[in-house]
Amino acid sequence: MAETKEKILTLNNVKGYLETVTNLAVLLVALVFLAGFAWSFFVPKTKVRPQIRPEIGLRKGNVLHQPAGIDYNAAPQTLLLLMNTECHYCEVSLPFYKKLATSSSIVNNTKMVALFPNPQTKVGDYAQKNELNFQTISSPDFQLLKMLGTPTLILTNSKGEILDFWIGKLSAESEQEVLKALGVS
- Model pLDDT, residue 68: 83
Span 4-15, mean pLDDT?
A: 67
Convert the pLDDT of each residue in 15-72 to its tens digit: 777 788 888 888 888 888 787 777 776 665 544 434 333 445 778 888 888 888 888 9
On the question of a cis peptide bond just before residue 54, with omega within 30 degrees of 0, the verdict is no
Question: In this structure, are residues 97 and 170 in contact, taking their beta carbons and an 8 Å threshold?
Answer: no
| pLDDT score at 90 | 92
Other residues' Cβ atoms within 10 Å of the Cβ of residue 23: 10
Q: Directed axis angle between helix 172-181 and helix 88-102, to 10°?
A: 40
In this prediction, residues 109-125 reach a mean pLDDT of: 91
Average pLDDT for residues 72-100, to the nearest whole number?
Answer: 92
155 bridge partner residues: 79, 164
- Per residue in 90-108, pLDDT (tens digit) is 999 999 999 888 887 676 7
Q: Name the pTM for this structure.
A: 0.67
Residue 162 reports pLDDT greater than 70: yes
- The pLDDT assigned to 107 comes to 67
